[in-house]
Amino acid sequence: MPVPNFSATVDHFASRLAADHRILATAWLERLDTLLAVEKGDVFPSHQLLDHIPELLKEIAAYLRAPADQEIAANTGVMTKAGELGLLRFDQRASVHQLLREYQILSEILESFFAREAAVLGERGDATAAVLVLSRAQQAVRVLQQKTVDAFITRYTETIARQTSQLRNFSRLVSHEIRQPLSVLQVAARLLMAHGTDAEATRIVETLERNVVRLAEVAGTLERLARLTRRPDTAPNEQQVDLSAVVHDVAGQLSDMAVARGVAFDIEPRLPTFAADAGRVELVVVNLLANAIKYCDPSKPARTVRVEADWSSPHPRLLIRDNGIGIPKSKLDLIFEQFVRVHAHLDDELGAQGMGLGLSIVRESMEAMGGIVSVESVEGEGTTFVLEWPAISQRQSIPTKTS
């Protein structure tokens, strides 16, 4: 039986990562295609930026061989590329949540890669070395993620400062440009009232008209300047959220858990799209779908979780229904409190565990977005959670019923 070698194992992982860096970057790009709002060809719109993720992976491969006291943050080149990625995503009007999700996907791809390579090594690999290599790769991803997010936030802050300056200039322009023609109009109005001759009245009226035209031109200019200062979609924590994409993404993340418990998702084809904090929306959906799976009823032959929209509401409204074990009526008022676990006594039977924080996080997240969450449940039959956000988006439309 071959004796595992620590350095040989490290070298194997580093070599394989360096060799496969473009394959892994392509896999990452394919996953991003379902996440980003931009066209696939625009994810990296230039040849220079196209090499960012492959180059980051190559640097991570080199970092795996580096001495234990060497940090990837000391590599100026790779940190610069990570920062450029944050600026690119800002220009594409992404969100901080989206950046975090992109790096999460990269971490998942690396985990799968290391698992495959560990299987290839088999007994020839040193287990301790494999664990340390994976840990070091994930640490590198976290450092690069932080650099990308920092660059994104810095650009956002600069944008806010610039817009604030534009608003100050706007105020000064209003004060200067409108005050003078208004003064002329005021004087002309007084003269018009004092002079009764037709010729004089005509001249004064013409003066009034010229200044009114000038005011109209100034107003048009100010309106265009005002549009330049309004960029609500640059907020790093708010963007157009497509609930269909969010729900399907979360369902994919929880698919293994659902299959293990025999739970099927039934997701309405079209769900609302509206402006909200994308990170909080996903957090809410994750907690509610995970709870629906966790507390399914093992005695029922068909265990389902239905996600649908209430299109009759003037606000974005989402319903998450399950036919699980339900919640006792006496406990409904308590479930959104911290550390409350209604079914803790069934942990062994259901294979469930937790700290009782999930639903309190749901409530706090909805309140932070100006929304509300409510619940209806019948013990033994199932539970329905209703999520409602405060404002409807122009992009949201109500499907037309056909007879």
Does the pLDDT at position 49 exceed 60?
no
Q: With bands split at pLDDT 50, 70 and 90, how would you rate the model's confidence at 173?
A: low
Interatomic CA distance for residues 246 and 316, integer angstroms: 14
Between the two ends of the chain, the Cα-to-Cα distance in Å is 73
Does the pLDDT at position 396 exceed 60?
no
Q: What is the pLDDT of residue 38?
A: 53
Angle, helix 6-19 to helix 52-65, in steps of 10 degrees: 170
pTM for this predicted structure? 0.48
Name which residue leads in pLDDT, 374 or 65. 374
Name which residue leads in pLDDT, 66 or 174. 66
Q: What is the pLDDT of residue 311?
A: 92
Interatomic CA distance for residues 327 and 382, integer angstroms: 8
Strands 372-378 and 303-309, by their bridges, are unpaired
Question: 99-148: per-residue pLDDT in tens?
Answer: 888 888 888 888 899 899 888 888 888 888 888 888 888 888 888 888 88
Question: 353-383: per-residue pLDDT in tens?
Answer: 555 677 888 898 899 889 999 999 999 999 9
What are the tokens at 308? 């649908």
What CATH number does the domain located at 239-388 have?
A: 3.30.565.10
Question: 326-342: per-residue pLDDT in tens?
Answer: 998 888 888 888 777 77
Q: What is the pLDDT of residue 393?
A: 43
Does the pLDDT at position 291 exceed 50?
yes
Which residues belong to CATH 3.30.565.10 in the chain? 239-388
| Residue 239 per-residue DSSP state | E
Interatomic CA distance for residues 378 and 328, integer angstroms: 7
Q: With bands split at pLDDT 50, 70 and 90, how would you rate the model's confidence at 296?
A: very high
Three-state SS for 373? strand
Does the pLDDT at position 14 exceed 70?
yes
C-alpha radius of gyration, the chain, whole number: 30
Q: What is the pLDDT of residue 232?
A: 46
